């Protein structure tokens, strides 16, 4: 029986952004403890701490309690409401705009462009919340006298503005943008491509959606981890107490120093933990995205 989409024009415009942000919040709430462990591992090269995720998790729990694994969750949620809302919404809008009337499916190169563009735009919007999240998670690794003792995401932002000015909220924006472009390229372009291929063989359903999200998670992790590593180092840095100089001038300088002092494999430090953090996050986000979109479509579809 023929059906008709009765969604109002405003909902069609808002839906990719609102559903994307909501799906990101669901995923972040699930994986926040893993993200905390991942950040600690990435900072271990500076502090000399363990890079074993189990040891790091036990250390956090023994010193601060289990709830500390959710430190920065408010910043994570704010980040999803800005960064993920923007990047997923912009990706879908851009993809639709790039599709010509004669194209049944979008070519991979157009999906790649949409992913890169949406990742960059979303990262710029979400950088303040991302910086606050990193600083809140890293605060306990500092000597007691140097800790900022943030009470929440907005306190972290306010203290950043007080210490570094408004533009300080965009410290580390360059690696954040590059990281987001790499992650979006790996996550969204590969997801759409894999889902189309799998649905052609398996038919539409959760099996194809789940498998496509798993493939997407692998590419998102592998493409983005080196940039995520540099982003963490740049956003966490503090001026030297004696000279007032920052350890890293920019992302290229940071990459060079890490390469020289810690070796090339340092950029993939914590790969298993990052995989467990990003791949499930990508999968939960994409599965939630499809499920919520399905509910909205069903609610506004009628038989004609």
Q: What are the pLDDT digits (tens) for 206-223?
A: 899 999 999 999 999 988
Distance CA 120, CA 174 (A): 9
Cβ within 8 Å of residue 212, ≥6 positions away: 191, 194, 195, 198, 286
pLDDT of residue 157: 92
Reduced to 3 states, what is the DSSP secondary structure of residue 155? helix
pLDDT of residue 48: 67
The answer to whether 290 touches 22, Cβ cutoff 8 Å, is no
Q: What are the pLDDT digits (tens) for 270-295?
A: 888 888 878 888 899 999 999 999 99
Confidence of residue 4 (pLDDT cuts 50, 70, 90): confident
Confidence of residue 18 (pLDDT cuts 50, 70, 90): very high
pLDDT of residue 172: 75
Nearest residue to 249 via CA among 237, 241, 261 = 237
Distance CA 24, CA 211 (A): 19
Distance CA 230, CA 255 (A): 7
Reduced to 3 states, what is the DSSP secondary structure of residue 8? coil
Reduced to 3 states, what is the DSSP secondary structure of residue 132? helix
Read off the pTM.
0.73
Q: What are the pLDDT digits (tens) for 154-202?
A: 899 999 999 889 999 998 788 888 888 998 888 988 999 999 999 999 9
State what percent of residues in the chain have pLDDT above 70. Answer: 98
Q: What are the pLDDT digits (tens) for 42-95?
A: 777 666 677 788 898 999 899 889 988 988 888 889 888 998 999 999 999 999
Distance CA 103, CA 123 (A): 30
Cβ neighbourhood burial of 2 (10 Å; 0-12, 13-18, 19+): exposed
pLDDT of residue 211: 93
CATH of the domain at 289: 1.50.40.10
Arithmetic mean of pLDDT, 219-229: 89
Work out how many domains the chain is built from and give that number: 1
State what percent of residues in the chain have pLDDT above 90. Answer: 38
Q: What are the pLDDT digits (tens) for 116-153?
A: 999 999 999 988 988 888 888 788 777 888 888 888 88
Q: Which domain covers residue 144, as residue numbers?
A: 3-303
Confidence of residue 263 (pLDDT cuts 50, 70, 90): very high
pLDDT of residue 281: 87
């Amino acid at each position: 029986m023929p059906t008709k989409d009765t969604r109002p024009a405003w909902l069609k415009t808002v839906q990719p952004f609102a559903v994307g942000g909501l799906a990101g919040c669901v995923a972040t709430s699930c994986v926040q403890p893993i993200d905390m462990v991942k950040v600690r591992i990435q900072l271990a090269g500076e502090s000399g701490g363990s890079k074993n995720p189990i040891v790091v998790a036990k250390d956090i729990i023994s010193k601060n309690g289990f709830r500390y694994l959710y430190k920065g969750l408010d910043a994570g949620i704010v980040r999803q409401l800005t960064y993920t809302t923007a990047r997923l919404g912009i990706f879908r809008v851009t993809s639709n705009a790039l599709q010509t009337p004669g194209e049944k499916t979008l070519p991979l190169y157009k999906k790649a462009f949409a992913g890169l563009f949406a990742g960059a735009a979303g990262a710029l919007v979400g950088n303040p919340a991302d910086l606050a999240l990193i600083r809140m998670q890293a605060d306990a690794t500092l000597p007691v006298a140097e800790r900022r003792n943030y009470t929440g995401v907005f306190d972290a932002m306010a203290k950043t503005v007080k210490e570094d000015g408004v533009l300080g909220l965009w410290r580390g924006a360059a690696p954040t943008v590059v990281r987001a472009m790499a992650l979006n390229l790996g996550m969204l372009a590969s997801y759409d491509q894999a889902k189309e291929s799998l649905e052609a063989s398996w038919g539409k359903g959760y099996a194809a959606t789940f498998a496509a999200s798993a493939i997407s998670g692998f590419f998102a992790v592998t493409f983005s981890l080196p940039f995520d590593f540099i982003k963490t180092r740049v956003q966490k840095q503090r001026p030297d107490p004696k000279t007032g100089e920052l350890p890293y001038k920019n992302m290229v300088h940071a990459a060079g120093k890490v390469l020289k002092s810690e070796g090339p494999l340092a950029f993939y430090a914590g790969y298993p933990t990052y995989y467990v953090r990003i791949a499930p996050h990508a999968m939960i986000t994409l599965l939630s995205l499809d499920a919520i979109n399905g509910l909205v479509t069903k609610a506004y579809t009628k038989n004609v």
